[in-house]
A and B are shown apart, each in its own frame.
Chain A
Amino acid sequence: MIKQPQASQKSYPLNGALFALSWALMAAALPILLFLQNKWLALAAFLMGAGLLILSLLLDHSYTLRPLAARIIRYVLLVFGMLVMVFPFFWMLSSSLKTYNEMNYFPPTMFPQNWANFENFKIVFEKAPFARYFLNSVITVLGSVGVTTFTTILAAFAFSRLEFRGREILFSLLLSMMMVPFEMLVITNFQTIVKLGVYDTLYALIIPFTSSIFYTYILRNFFQSIPSGLYWSARVDGCTNWKYLWKVMVPIARPSLVTIVLLNALASWNSFMWPLLVIKSDLRRTLPFGLYHFTTEVGANFELLMAASTVTVLPMIILFLFARKQIIRGVARGGIKG
């Protein structure tokens, strides 16, 4: 039986409830684990929720058989892909909650015996100043992303809206610089940092990353797609370039800007090589560098390592959960990994 596509547009009130219930069940798994200490009940709740979610998604579309089969296959594949992607993270989280003995069980256990065993985290924070690393990372990311966004907006405006001699040549020159790999610039950047007298300070982590040709390029392209009529209407009304930029262009470009900020924050948070070069003191390390250093310190204590990794990765996971759409769009558009 062929159904008209309009039929699938219909939404069933029951599905909404089913959808909410499925999420509620999956979410309930965590408190059940933590407070009731019953991992099987938690697992059952989670799986039931997942099953209901798939059911509600299926019902939401149509009742015809062929698309149903196709959809089941699609979701099975997606779930499989998701498991592959999520498993390392799950393993990290699970290991971080195990004791040293548990870690060495053979065969290894899937779940920790005590889901509320935060002992490892405590040890990690005692052994190395992870709170400090975290703070350093946050300061670096805020500083570099903040300034980069500002300079990117100004440069993109100049290269798209202002008219001056040699604009296109200058921009081509800038673009050609993108071909120079970062590793090439490390030496000169390092010398600059030393000469500025900011070696082994957080400034050294921020100053080389206060502008970006790539983001300028993305934003300039977006700015150029804004019709010039908007600019002239505003100018005729007495709007200055500065005001026009912040009152009209930036709000219109907000989706693009959010993408840029997110990609930039991800790259900045994950940066490893540069901090390794310019930071000497323990207290000025950022998270990835601190984690690396921690590895060499704790050696074979994988449960501690996993706890430290969790601390490092968690903020990015949370960011991803909140800004999933923008990140995916940004990565898809930029064609680069975040």
Chain B
Amino acid sequence: MQVIMEKLTKHFGETKAVQDFSVTLNDGELVCLLGPSGCGKSTVLNMLSGIIPVTSGKIYFDGEDVTKLPPEQRGIGLVFQNYALYPHMTVMGNITFPLEIQKVPPAEREARAREIAELVHMGNLLGRKPKQLSGGQQQRVAIARALVKNPRLLLLDEPLSNLDARLRLEMREEIRRIQLETQVTTIFVTHDQEEAMSISDHIVLMKDGFLQQHAAPQELYNQPANQFVADFLGNPPINNFPGKVAGDDFVMADGSRVTLGLSGKVPEGTEVNLSVRAESFVVESEQQPDRLTCTVDSVFQMGKEEMAILSFGGVHFRAYIASEYGFKPGDTVVLGLKDRGVFVFDLKTGERYI
């Protein structure tokens, strides 16, 4: 189902949780709503499900305006972080409950529940109570219960946050598999960028109630719209060098400069951040104007690569360097910049120039 949000806004009293949020999500996609805590992503989800009313703006499901529709008429399935299973019912009872409310005949209810339980690999545990299941199994049941009535849209609110690290990996692959098998349009809320990058078709990144960028994971990483997007994605985080634009050059406070061909792209004298991903440095043998001469602070072995902490112009930063060089702390290194993963952002507005 295609989901369109148009200038969606939600205020809680003085607090502006979501503002002018406009996004179009395509049918059959798994989209992650990503952002730090308190950025409004769960609020967006709750507005989509109808749990909280919108302050202004519109929501369209397949062209139909559902902004004022009560939750039960929207055809959605919900999965919560704490699973929200009915503790007094068995797995079977939990999965059939939505059908029971819709007055589906018992025989059909059970058949559909069995089918969906097979899909989430819970077919052999239908008689158990939620208490007797592990966190991952409870989450499978919650997903089955959300899917059993064939929703047009599946909404998952931080579904993996309560699981331990191993189960989290397993369940995120499971969610992706189930989503691909059912082809249900899915919105997945998370604050974990790695989770979002690994399973989604598109990521909607939010901050302070505003949409930052809506793009495919790779595009978000390679073409961040602003400083926040660049900072939020990537592990280790992107390196930021503050400085000024002087002609073609980027000049730092202590006079260190790099020639980046900035004139014409960035206004003269603008205060900017030169942001470089850790994997975007190349070791060079001789100094040139477009290279950085840095000092090695420390080196961490990571197998085929080394993670080095270096300093340039008084700023410490991380870079991946091939092991073969064998640098030691105190060494001087000349680093060139690759084309990919090098950005220039306005220091004040965070707007991207390059």
Contact = CB atoms under 8 A, between A and B. Distances in A.
B78 A238 contact: no
A247 B100 CA distance: 11
B72 A236 contact: yes
Interface stretch (A2-10, A17-25, A151-159, A224-232): A224-232
B88 A252 contact: yes
B101 A243 contact: yes
Contacts, number: 58
Interface residues of B, number: 26
A235 interface: yes
Contacts of A254: 88
Contacts of A229: 80-84
A142 to B, nearest CB: 26
B98 A238 contact: yes
A183 interface: no
B87 A252 contact: yes
B305 to A, nearest CB: 43
A243 B84 CA distance: 17
A302 B168 CA distance: 74
A233 interface: yes
B102 A233 contact: no
Contacts of A233: 78, 80, 84, 142, 145-146
Contact of A232 (B49, B85, B87, B149): B49
A182 to B, nearest CB: 35
B272 interface: no
A230 B80 CA distance: 9
B103 to A, nearest CB: 10
Contact of B86 (A232, A236, A238, A248): A248
Contacts of B76: 236
A276 interface: no
A36 interface: no
A236 B88 contact: no
A234 B74 CA distance: 13
Contacts of A234: 97, 101
Nearest to A243: B101
A51 interface: no
A251 B146 CA distance: 21
A237 interface: yes
B80 A236 contact: no
A238 B72 contact: yes
A237 B149 contact: yes
A239 interface: yes
Interface of A: 227, 229-230, 232-239, 243, 247-248, 251-252, 254
Given A229-B82, A229-B83, A230-B84, 5 more contacts: A232-B51, A236-B51, A236-B72, A239-B101, A248-B88
Shortest 8 CB-CB contacts between residues of A and residues of B: A229-B84, A229-B80, A238-B72, A237-B98, A251-B88, A236-B71, A230-B84, A236-B78
Interface of B: 49-51, 71-72, 74, 76-78, 80-88, 97-98, 101-102, 142, 145-146, 149
